[in-house]
Each structure stands twice: as structure tokens, then as C-alpha cells.
């Protein structure tokens, strides 16, 4: 009986040994797809910007020529108009900006008809750097007409860029004047042309000038050579 017990114990021990996990040596890769088995992604040119004061802007509003009405028309009615805005870029870091224009058109409390902003088209844009300072050897971004501004129609889903000051490697506070000339063109036979030509009333329009700065501005699409940061 003792011999059978020993043999049973030996068999149980052997089965237990077979059921235990076998831990192999640590495995290593036989090769790497890149030198030193690393992929390195450098990220440079990340700006930490400083500025003196925010941008400010003022406008004298928009003006349109007074029109003598003559009743039914067979040719387009063209009413010239303009608006201007003065920009004081007190940031001093010359990181660039763009100027956009939008409108919701014209309306009158005396008419059920409205004149849509799509009847407004830009005919010219003037943009001037009027002052750069106040530091010694101050430098300021130049400003110019945005590509595609002249001939663009207002009233779209997004404002129309009219002027852009490209980023510059300079320190200085610039002051800019931007003027936009436009035509209000009413096609004969349209409801707005009929309402305009038969009623001597005042039409009131709404315009919005937006000045953008920062990473949301695509300076490359606006004709600049790139951003400076």
C-alpha cells in the first residue's frame, strides 16, 4: 500500500508540474524600421506673443448718392456709395490683420419691399498706412487691397475681405485708413427697382466692418508671403 501511495504522489506531482505556466525569457524585436528605433517629430517656431494694447477702430459711416426718381426704368439703376474705417493697431507686434465687410441690405418702414445686399458690389478699395510710431526706428505692416475684393458682391454667407495688413518682423504701432467704394445696382423689373423708382422715400442700410487678427486669418490666401510669429 505504501508503494502504491508513493507512486500516486509521484504521478500527481508530475501532472502538477505539467500544468504550471512556463515563463520564457524576455522577447526582443529582431529589427527596427527606423534608425535608432525612433521617430522624432520636431515642432519649432511656436510663438509666445506680446503686445502693448488691443486694436481699435472707428467709422464715419456709409454714404450713398441721393437719386432723382423717374418712374419705370429699362436700364439698371446704379447708385454709388462709399464707407470708410480708421484702424489704430496699438498691439505694436505687427502680427497682421484683415478687414472684412458685410451688409444686410436696405429697408424702409414705408415699403414692404427690401433691397438685398446682393445688389451691392465693391468697385474700389483704398488702404493707407497713415502713421507708424512711436518708437525710434519703428516699423509697421503695410496694408493693401485683399485679392478678389473689387467686383465682389455683398450679402453672401461670409463677409468679404477688403483689405489686409500682412505680418511683418517689426515693432511699431500703425494707423490705417480703409475706404470702400461700391455700387447699389437695381435691375429693371425687379421688386426693389420698382419700389425704388416709384416712391420718394429713404432707405436705410446696415453694414458691418470686421477686423480679424490671430491664427484664424489665412494670410497666405490674402496674398501675404506667410505669417511671422
Residue ranges covered by each domain of the chain: 55-65+73-212
Q: Give this prediction's pTM.
A: 0.81
Question: Over 80: is that where the pLDDT of 27 sits?
Answer: no
Give 143-151 contacts, CB < 8 A, sequence gap 24+.
143/174, 143/176, 143/178, 144/223, 146/98, 146/99, 146/222, 146/223, 147/221, 147/222, 147/223, 149/122, 149/125, 150/122, 150/123, 150/124, 150/125, 151/121, 151/122, 151/123
What are the pLDDT digits (tens) for 174-217?
Answer: 999 999 999 999 999 999 999 999 999 999 999 999 999 999 99
**pLDDT per position as a tens digit, 88-125:** 999 999 999 999 999 999 999 999 999 999 999 999 99
* 146-185 tens-digit pLDDT: 999 999 999 999 999 999 999 999 999 999 999 999 999 9
Q: How far apart are CA 197 and CA 203, in angstroms?
A: 12
Q: Say what the pLDDT of residue 8 is.
A: 53
Residue 135, pLDDT above cutoff 90: no
pLDDT band, residue 54 (cuts 50/70/90): very high
Amino acid at each position: 500500500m505504501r508503494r502504491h501511495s508513493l507512486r500516486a504522489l509521484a504521478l500527481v506531482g508530475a501532472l502538477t508540474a505539467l500544468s504550471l505556466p512556463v515563463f520564457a525569457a524576455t522577447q526582443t524585436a529582431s529589427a527596427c524600421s527606423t534608425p535608432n528605433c525612433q521617430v522624432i517629430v520636431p515642432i519649432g517656431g511656436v510663438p509666445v506673443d506680446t503686445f502693448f494694447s488691443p486694436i481699435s477702430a472707428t467709422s464715419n459711416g456709409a454714404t450713398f448718392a441721393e437719386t432723382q426718381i423717374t418712374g419705370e426704368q429699362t436700364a439698371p439703376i446704379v447708385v454709388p456709395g462709399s464707407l470708410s474705417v480708421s484702424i489704430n493697431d496699438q498691439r505694436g507686434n505687427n502680427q497682421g490683420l484683415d478687414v472684412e465687410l458685410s451688409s444686410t441690405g436696405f429697408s424702409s418702414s414705408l415699403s414692404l419691399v427690401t433691397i438685398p445686399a446682393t445688389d451691392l458690389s465693391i468697385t474700389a478699395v483704398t488702404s493707407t498706412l497713415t502713421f507708424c510710431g512711436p518708437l525710434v526706428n519703428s516699423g509697421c505692416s503695410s496694408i493693401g487691397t485683399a485679392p478678389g475684393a473689387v467686383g465682389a458682391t455683398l450679402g453672401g454667407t461670409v463677409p468679404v475681405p477688403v483689405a489686409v495688413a500682412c505680418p511683418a518682423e517689426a515693432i511699431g504701432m500703425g494707423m490705417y485708413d480703409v475706404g470702400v467704394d461700391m455700387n447699389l445696382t437695381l435691375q429693371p423689373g425687379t421688386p426693389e427697382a420698382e419700389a425704388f423708382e416709384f416712391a420718394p422715400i429713404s432707405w436705410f442700410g446696415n453694414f458691418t466692418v470686421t477686423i480679424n487678427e490671430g491664427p484664424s486669418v489665412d494670410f497666405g490666401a490674402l496674398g501675404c508671403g506667410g505669417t511671422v510669429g
